Amino acid sequence: MATVTPIQTNDRAQEVGQAGHTGSALTYRPVVDIIENANELLIYADMPGVEGDTIDIHFEDRTLSIHGRVEPRQAAKTTYLLQEYGVGDFQRVFQVSEAIDSTKITAEYTDGVLMLHLPKVEAVRPRKIEVQAK
Domain-embedded: residue 117: yes
**Residue 24 pLDDT exceeds 60:** no
Q: What's the pLDDT at 9?
A: 39
Q: What's the pLDDT at 129?
A: 83
Average pLDDT, the chain: 83
Q: Which of 92, 118, 109 is nearest to 32 (CA)?
A: 92
Domain-embedded: residue 131: no
What's 57's domain CATH number? 2.60.40.790
DSSP notation for 2-48: --EEEE-S-TT-EETTS-EEETTEEEEE--EEEEE-SSEEEEEEE-T
Q: What's the pLDDT at 11?
A: 37
Using alpha carbons only, what angle is made at residue 114 by residues 74 and 32, rounded to the nearest 5 degrees?
Answer: 100
Per-residue confidence at 4, pLDDT binned at 50, 70, 90? low
Domain-embedded: residue 134: no
Per-residue confidence at 71, pLDDT binned at 50, 70, 90? confident
Give the mean model confidence (pLDDT) for residues 13-39.
73
- Rounded distance between C-alpha atoms, residue 71 and residue 59, angstroms: 25
Give the mean model confidence (pLDDT) for residues 12-40.
73
Q: How many domains does one find in the chain?
A: 1
- Rounded distance between C-alpha atoms, residue 48 and residue 28, angstroms: 11
Confidence (pTM): 0.76
Domain-embedded: residue 130: no
